């Protein structure tokens, strides 16, 4: 199976992702033509830069003759010129990477005062000369951005407005990410844990700890960490790209590398390469070829750990199950058994990939009362699956979609997404799940 692996040791932003795609072989002319066809006053500039000794591709979006600027530089300049004047509601995602606010119009009078709603931008994406798959992906990335912003501000998504420059940047980033990802020709994107950076950042909300509110909202469910880089490393656009494109997180899988791309971030840190590394190749879990019934199934080696428990408080078993999933277990289940001296007991079974086997074995010894853990190694055949985001009246829900021979065979809303929405909005869980299914089917059949 052809996959792409994202090494986010220095985070990810929209321009870093696009730079990595180009460095891995996606045609610059393709992205240039895509932007030109959008006809929104934007162009692309391509350059080669050095980041702590690593040569990387840098892509800049130019709107009305101006390049985007880092969030800190934009807000510092703005506060110097505007002083203590209040600023109005803006979209964090693009005040940060590319952004402009309403007050910024006074600093840049040549910019249009028009604002775009999310539906305006989705309309532009919808009528663009793109494949249906690219349109769908671009729309999902943009909707993820808008939904996160709306939640942070406690407003409806249509109350989030992008001013002309920010809107153009948003469209370029999302559309080029979708087009470039499609051109890369991979079946899955897999991502490392994301380094979000540390310290504080100045944004439309004032001074906030890293990661910024919208970024953190978009990274729900993704493994993140901070190191000693005092800077914001994951941007809202980068987080939205990860949310939509990435199907799983973890260590680099066994794969045969064909292409490597480095996308440069805006800053050059001393002793730290501010790049996103993209590896493309064939994963070790290869499709089977055992006739039509087995075509495209993924074969992988798994470890199965069993622990017999007959003297453990049952309340602790649920706690251990949660810990095991957090440590990378693929599945955890229990089986009631009758043990020696006719005592009722429980077999706790953990299914995992090889890289998490030892960690999970030690978890069972540490957290349970077992004196021994049985281990066996088996093959697992699985359908390829990925996530697709759908919008419900209460927010976005990920749909887990499995395919057989390239055709969708199973789909279901992600339980944790539906549960969170049901709790936050005080609506029945079954209503959220039904609405997610309806939204997915409407789009699938539309």
Q: 197 and 163 in one domain?
A: yes
Tens-place pLDDT, residues 384-430: 777 787 888 998 888 888 888 767 889 999 998 899 999 999 999 99
- Rounded to whole angstroms, the Cα distance separating 55 from 51 reads 6
Q: 393 and 360 in one domain?
A: no
Question: Residue 68: which pLDDT band, with cuts at 50, 70 and 90?
Answer: low
Tens-place pLDDT, residues 1-37: 789 999 999 999 999 999 999 999 999 999 999 999 9
How confident is the model at residue 94, as a pLDDT?
Answer: 43
Neighbours of 60 (CB within 10 A): 15
In a domain, 290, yes or no: no
In a domain, 293, yes or no: no
CATH of the domain at 341: 3.30.70.1380
Tens-place pLDDT, residues 361-396: 999 999 999 999 999 999 888 887 777 878 889 988
Q: 189 and 106 in one domain?
A: yes
Q: 361 and 221 in one domain?
A: no
Domain holding 401, by residue range, is 387-445
Q: 273 and 201 in one domain?
A: yes
Average model confidence (pLDDT) for the chain?
A: 83
In a domain, 289, yes or no: no
Question: Residue 296: which pLDDT band, with cuts at 50, 70 and 90?
Answer: low
How confident is the model at residue 25, as a pLDDT?
Answer: 95
Q: 341 and 276 in one domain?
A: no
Number of domains within the chain: 3
**Listed residues 367, 382, 397: the one ending a domain:** 382
How confident is the model at residue 257, as a pLDDT?
Answer: 93
DSSP string, 145-165: HHHHHHHHHTS-GGG--EEHH
**Listed residues 345, 367, 382: the one ending a domain:** 382
Cα angle value 104/119/183 (rounded, 5°)? 95
Q: 150 and 29 in one domain?
A: yes
φ, ψ at 380 (rounded to 5°): -120, 135
- Rounded to whole angstroms, the Cα distance separating 236 from 345 reads 48
- CB-count exposure of residue 435 (10 Å: 0-12, 13-18, 19+): buried
Q: 419 and 314 in one domain?
A: no
Q: 377 and 419 in one domain?
A: no
In a domain, 259, yes or no: yes
In a domain, 291, yes or no: no
Q: 407 and 367 in one domain?
A: no
Q: 62 and 24 in one domain?
A: yes
Selected residue with higher pLDDT from 271 and 176: 176
How confident is the model at residue 401, as a pLDDT?
Answer: 86
The whole-model pTM stands at 0.59
Question: Residue 169: which pLDDT band, with cuts at 50, 70 and 90?
Answer: confident
Say whether pLDDT at 338 is over 70: yes
Strand partners, 346: 309, 336
In a domain, 288, yes or no: no
Q: 165 and 106 in one domain?
A: yes
In a domain, 292, yes or no: no
**Listed residues 344, 364, 382: the one ending a domain:** 382
In a domain, 124, yes or no: yes
H, E, C per residue of 379-393: EEEECCEEEEEEEEC
Tens-place pLDDT, residues 181-193: 999 999 899 999 9
Query: What does the longest C-alpha to C-alpha distance in the chain come to?
Result: 85
How confident is the model at residue 179, as a pLDDT?
Answer: 96
How confident is the model at residue 249, as a pLDDT?
Answer: 86
């Amino acid at each position: 199976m052809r996959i792409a692996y994202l090494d986010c040791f220095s985070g990810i932003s929209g321009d870093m992702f696009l730079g990595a795609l180009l460095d891995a072989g996606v045609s610059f002319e393709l992205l240039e033509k895509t932007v030109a066809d959008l006809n929104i006053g934007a162009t692309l500039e391509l350059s080669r830069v050095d980041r702590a000794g690593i040569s990387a591709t840098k892509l800049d979006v130019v709107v009305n003759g101006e390049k985007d600027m880092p969030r800190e530089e934009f807000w510092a300049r703005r506060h110097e010129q505007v002083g203590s004047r209040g600023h109005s509601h803006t979209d964090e995602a693009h005040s940060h990477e590319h952004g402009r606010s309403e007050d910024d119009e006074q600093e840049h009078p040549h910019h249009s005062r028009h604002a775009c709603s999310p539906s305006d931008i989705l309309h532009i994406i919808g009528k663009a000369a793109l494949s249906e798959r690219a349109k769908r992906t671009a729309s999902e990335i943009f909707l993820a951005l808008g939904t996160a912003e709306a939640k942070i501000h406690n407003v409806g998504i249509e109350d989030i407005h992008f001013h002309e420059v920010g809107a153009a940047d948003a469209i370029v980033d999302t559309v080029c990410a979708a087009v470039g990802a499609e051109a890369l020709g991979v079946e899955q994107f897999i991502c490392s844990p994301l380094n979000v950076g540390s310290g504080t950042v100045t944004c439309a909300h004032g001074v906030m700890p890293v990661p910024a509110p919208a970024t953190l909202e978009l990274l729900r469910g993704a493994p993140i960490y901070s190191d000693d880089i005092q800077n914001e490393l994951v941007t809202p656009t980068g987080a939205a790209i990860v949310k939509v494109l990435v199907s799983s997180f973890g260590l680099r899988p066994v794969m045969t590398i064909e292409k490597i791309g480095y996308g440069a971030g805006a800053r050059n840190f001393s002793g730290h390469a501010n790049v996103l590394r993209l590896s493309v190749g064939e994963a070790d879990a290869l499709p089977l070829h055992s006739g039509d019934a087995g075509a495209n199934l993924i074969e992988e080696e798994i470890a199965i750990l069993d622990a017999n428990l007959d003297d453990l408080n049952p309340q602790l078993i649920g706690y251990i199950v949660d810990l095991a999933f957090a440590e990378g277990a693929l599945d955890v289940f229990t089986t009631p058994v009758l043990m020696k001296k006719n005592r009722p007991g429980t077999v706790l079974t953990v299914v995992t990939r090889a890289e998490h086997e030892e960690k999970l074995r030690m978890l069972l010894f540490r957290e349970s009362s077992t004196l021994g853990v049985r281990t066996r190694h088996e093959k697992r055949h699985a359908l390829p699956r990925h996530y697709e985001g759908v919008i419900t009246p209460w927010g976005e829900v990920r749909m887990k979609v499995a395919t057989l021979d390239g055709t969708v065979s199973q789909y279901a809303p992600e339980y944790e997404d539906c549960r969170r929405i049901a709790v936050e909005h005080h609506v029945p869980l079954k209503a959220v799940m039904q609405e997610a299914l309806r939204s997915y089917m409407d789009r699938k059949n539309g």
